[in-house]
Structure 1
């Protein structure tokens, strides 16, 4: 269950007006998914889906990270982003 601080960080990231770049967006996506759903599941998308594949790979790198740690990392990284 996401805490209020995590939800505030999610809202902040979703409200960014300046694009933080693909690498940062992938990292934030992966941390969000790890925090809310746990380890990645399912098959890795094929080469015809490069965006899905990049998202899957970023999320898979966090395998074994606890939801609490993923939330803490997300909050810290969201705080470092500027809009």
Structure 2
């Protein structure tokens, strides 16, 4: 299976396999890695500070600036695997 196929499988699994909700920090890490893998570096305008959720997501994605799409996919897959071990029904 190619890296992109494994990435897409992990993205699908994270929505169905986890029986408990990960922490906000884990969710932001997932978001940032997903966006970096799909779109590359963040070039969007920073949201207003009062837009807390949008601002947190923007910061999580921007923190990964310079990370290659392949590296982001690999890290995303590893994070999903660790979350499955932590939050999926055994």
Aligned to 1:25: 27
User: Partners of 1:47 and 1:69 in 2: how far apart?
Assistant: 29
How does 1:2-81 map onto structure 2 within 5 Å?
Answer: 3-15=4-16, 16-81=18-83
Deviations 1:1-31 (A, max 9, x none): x711111110111112210110000000000
* Structure 1 unaligned residues grouped into runs of 5+: none
| Length-normalised TM-score, structure 2 | 0.86
Q: CA RMSD in A?
A: 1.1
Q: Give 1 or 2 for the bigger CA radius of gyration.
A: 2
How many residues of Structure 1 are paired with residues of Structure 2 in the alignment?
82
Runs of 4 or more, structure 1, over 3 Å off, are none
| Length-normalised TM-score, structure 1 | 0.93
User: Partners of 1:13 and 1:32 in 2: how far apart?
Assistant: 11
* Structure 2 unaligned residues grouped into runs of 5+: none
